[in-house]
């Protein structure tokens, strides 16, 4: 089971993520959206969304760089494994708390407001619950990491992740003896990758670059009415 979860399951999850995301974009481009509920309880959304997204982005890119950067690069830069471990604990802890607080605010808003509940699908609520569970597990790993500040445990996960991405046999052996909370954290993370193409998370791949280059103002009017004279048209941002 260990070999399946950490030697085979990563390839299943990543394959579904890539192929499923491309297929959804090609077949159902109009479902590629967040189904925003911004007009409802806006203040709670702004605070919660900001905390959640900033925290998650810091965690994601921190994991991406920390796990996939070859160990020799840190050695060449003179960054010890202990220093890297300490940085990961401090930065990850702060970002994790931010994301958890923001995520709880978003979950509370989506779960308790009847209007927002009616516009939310099972996948919307389910994926948010999984992300919150993942954040709790991630913060739980910090307790274990504090017992290994020499960074030796971190190198095991780096070797595993880099072994997976370079198709090395026996990559699962690198994390054979790590704590169960790390293993559960990895499995849930891979499961989120697996579900990614079927949820609103796909909006992460749609950076609105054209929004920055759009015309400054748009003329807004109802389709049911005849065009207003120019001096009566309202320009809105």
**Residues annotated in a binding site:** 53, 63, 185, 203
What is the SS3 assignment for 10? helix
For residue 40, give the H/E element and its range. Answer: none
Q: How far is CA 98 from CA 2, 77, 135, 150, 188, in A?
A: 32, 30, 10, 26, 20
**CB burial class (10 A; 0-12, 13-18, 19+) of residue 10?**
buried
Q: Which residues are annotated as a binding site for heme b?
A: 53, 63, 185, 203
Tokens, residue 217: 């103002």
Q: How far is CA 10 from CA 70, 82, 100, in A?
A: 19, 27, 25
Which of 148, 143, 140, 149 has its CA nearest to residue 100? 140
């Amino acid at each position: 089971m260990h070999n399946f979860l950490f030697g085979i399951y990563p390839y299943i999850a990543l394959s579904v993520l890539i192929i499923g995301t491309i297929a959804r974009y090609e077949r159902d481009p109009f479902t590629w959206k967040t189904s925003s509920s911004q007009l409802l309880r806006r203040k709670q959304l702004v605070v919660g969304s900001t905390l959640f997204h900033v925290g998650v982005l810091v965690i994601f890119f921190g994991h991406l760089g920390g796990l996939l950067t070859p160990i020799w690069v840190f050695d060449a830069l003179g960054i010890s494994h202990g220093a890297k471990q300490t940085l990961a604990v401090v930065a990850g802890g702060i970002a994790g708390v931010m994301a958890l607080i923001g995520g709880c605010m978003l979950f509370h808003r989506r779960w308790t407001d009847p209007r927002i509940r009616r516009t939310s699908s099972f996948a919307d609520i389910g994926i948010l619950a999984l992300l919150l569970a993942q954040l709790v597990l991630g913060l739980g790993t910090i307790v274990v990491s504090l017992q290994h500040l020499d960074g030796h445990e971190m190198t095991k996960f780096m070797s595993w992740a880099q072994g997976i991405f370079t198709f090395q046999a026996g990559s699962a052996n690198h994390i054979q003896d790590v704590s169960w909370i790390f293993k559960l954290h990895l499995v849930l993370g891979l499961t989120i990758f697996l579900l990614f193409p079927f949820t609103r998370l796909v909006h992460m791949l749609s950076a609105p670059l054209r929004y920055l280059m759009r015309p400054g103002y748009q003329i807004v009017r109802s389709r049911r009415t005849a065009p207003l004279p120019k001096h009566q048209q309202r320009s809105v941002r």
